[in-house]
């Protein structure tokens, strides 16, 4: 027989007693999960459904639906609201385009920088110190990160570190967050600064999990440092890299605090993103339109979530 019972259970008959205990306990499970389940249903699931309903209507300032307008909130978002999506200009602009910019730049740079720092720090004796320095911004509020970086970017070279630095090199000071062509990059870099620590910690832990013996064996066989990284470490990092990428992507679709505090979406609408637009419209009393923006945000997240749940399921089967 190919039965693979655990050593402890060998010979113990699968009698009636244990299942009956479990059966009797079924209702008890409800006492344990009931409160959590109730809150999740009332405060997340039910509001999600309500938000979808809201997205097909107009509301008054008390957030009561006054008129059903079908998909008009959605057509407004993609065709008439130029601060959300403007395809008339080249390159296209608007909150949605900015979010795409964020997704590409923020995700790749945070990931690569985190990987680079993890790999470099592993080669020096002050590794723990380095990792702490890069990781600390993860613990502080995005509101504080916004203040820290707004000060770095201050146009007055006597205030802002960055302009102080470039003026000593002979350049004119630049209003980093006051100009439409630099504001997004200034914000994205500040957020990269705040989240690289996450990528670094996860990837560093994964690197530590790769056996030293394998690397030493490759080294004695004459493999260079780059070969070791490229052919041994990188392939084994593919899962943690996927995990970090998912986390960064979800983070960037939700990005709000940093932009709201630092620029409020300005100058004009140059640094608007989906989450900021949503709150602004909500503040304008446009409950239906705000709900429709939230639905679009959710639709962007769902594919990433599906990937996550699938990964989780496959792990459960093997683990």
Partner 1 sequence: MATAQAAVQPRTATPSARLVKFISRAPVHLGLLLVAVIWLVPTVGLAVTSFRPRGDIQASSWWSSLTDWSFTLHNYSEVLNKANMDKAFVNSILITVPSTLLPLVLAAAAAYAFSWISFPFRDTIFLLIVALMVVPVQMALVPLLTLFRDLGISNWFGGIWLAHTAFGLPLGIFLLRNFFIALPRDLIEAARVDGASNLRIFLKVVLPLSVPALASFGIFQFLWVWNDLLMSFIFIQNGDLLPMTVRINQMQTTYGGEWHLLSAGAFLLMIVPLAVFFALQRYFVQGLLAGSVK
Contact 229, 243 (CB under 8 A): no
Q: Could you tell me the sign of the dihedral formed by the alpha carbons of 171, 177, 181, 187, in that order?
A: positive
Surface-to-core class of residue 318, CB atoms within 10 Å of its CB (0-12 exposed, 13-18 middle, 19+ buried): exposed
Q: Which of 85, 100, 103, 130 binds partner 1 (CB under 8 A)?
A: 130
Residue 140 touches partner 1, criterion: CB under 8 A: yes
Min dist CB 241 to partner 1, Å, is 11
- Which listed range, 32-40, 75-83, 98-106, 213-221, lies at the site for partner 1 (CB under 8 A)? 32-40
Among 5, 20, 32, 180, interactor with partner 1 by CB under 8 A:
32
Among residues 101 and 256, whose Cβ is nearest to partner 1? 256
Torsion over CA: 80, 98, 173, 158 (sign): positive
**Minimum distance of partner 1 from residue 91's CB (angstroms):** 26
Within positions 2 to 31, which residues make up the interface with partner 1, using CB under 8 A?
8, 21-22, 25-26, 28-30
Q: Is 51 in the site for partner 1 (CB under 8 A)?
A: yes
Binding mask 62-101 for partner 1 (x = CB under 8 A): -xx-------------------------------------
Residue recorded with tokens 């402890």: 8
Nearest alpha carbon to residue 179 among 87, 82, 266: 266
Q: How is residue 259 written in tokens?
A: 């932009």
Residue 157 in contact with partner 1, rule: CB under 8 A: yes
Of the pair 77, 278, the CB lying nearest partner 1 is at: 278
Q: How far apart are CA 8 and CA 279, in angstroms?
A: 57
The correct pick among 89, 104, 136, 180 for binding partner 1 (CB under 8 A) is 136
Nearer to partner 1 by Cβ, of 42 and 89: the residue is 42
Nearest to 153 by CA among 196, 183, 180, 133: 183
d(CA 216, CA 232): 11
Among the residue ranges 173-181, 213-221, 229-237, 302-310, the one whose residues contact partner 1 (CB under 8 A): 302-310
Tokens 């599906």 correspond to what residue? 306
| 284: contact with partner 1 by CB under 8 A | no
Peptide bond between residue 267 and the one before it cis (omega within 30 degrees of 0): yes
Contact pick of 205, 214, 217, 234 for partner 1 (by CB under 8 A):
205
The reply on whether position 247 binds partner 1 by CB under 8 A is yes
* CB within 8 Å of 95: residues ≥ 6 apart: 83, 84, 85, 265, 269, 272, 273, 274, 276, 277
Q: Is residue 264 a contact partner of residue 123, using CB atoms and an 8 Å limit? A: no
Q: How many residues bind partner 1 (CB under 8 A)?
A: 98
Binding flag, residue 132, partner 1 (CB under 8 A):
yes
Q: Is 318 a residue that touches partner 1 (CB under 8 A)?
A: no
Minimum CB distance to partner 1, residue 291 (Å): 5
């Amino acid at each position: 027989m190919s039965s693979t019972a655990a050593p402890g259970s060998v010979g113990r008959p699968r009698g009636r007693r244990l299942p009956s205990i479990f059966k009797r306990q079924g209702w008890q499970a409800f006492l344990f999960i009931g409160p959590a389940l109730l809150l999740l249903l009332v405060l997340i699931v039910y509001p999600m459904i309500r938000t979808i309903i809201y997205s097909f209507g107009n509301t008054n300032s008390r957030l009561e639906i006054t008129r059903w307008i079908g998909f008009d909130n959605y057509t407004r978002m993609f065709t008439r609201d130029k601060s959300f999506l403007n395809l008339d200009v080249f390159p296209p602009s608007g909150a949605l385009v900015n979010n795409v910019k964020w997704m590409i730049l923020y995700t790749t740079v945070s990931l690569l920088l985190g990987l680079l720092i993890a790999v470099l720090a592993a080669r020096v004796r002050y590794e723990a110190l380095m990792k702490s320095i890069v990781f600390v911004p993860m613990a502080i509020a995005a509101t504080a990160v916004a203040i820290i970086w707004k000060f770095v970017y201050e146009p007055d070279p006597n205030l802002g570190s960055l302009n102080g630095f470039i003026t000593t090199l002979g350049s004119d000071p630049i209003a980093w967050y006051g100009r439409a062509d630099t504001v997004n990059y200034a914000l994205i870099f500040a957020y990269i600064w705040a989240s690289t620590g996450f990528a670094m910690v996860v990837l560093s832990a994964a690197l530590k999990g790769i056996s030293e013996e394998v690397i030493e064996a490759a080294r004695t066989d004459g493999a260079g440092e780059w070969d070791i990284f490229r052919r041994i470490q990188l392939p084994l990092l593919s899962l943690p890299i996927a995990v970090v990428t998912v986390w960064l992507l979800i983070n960037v679709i939700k990005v709000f605090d940093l932009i709201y505090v630092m620029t409020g979406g300005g100058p004009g609408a140059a640094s608007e993103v989906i989450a900021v637009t949503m709150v602004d419209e909500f503040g304008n009393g446009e409950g239906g339109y705000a709900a429709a923006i939230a639905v679009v945000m959710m639709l962007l997240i769902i594919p990433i979530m599906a990937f996550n749940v699938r990964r989780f399921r496959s792990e459960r089967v093997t683990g």
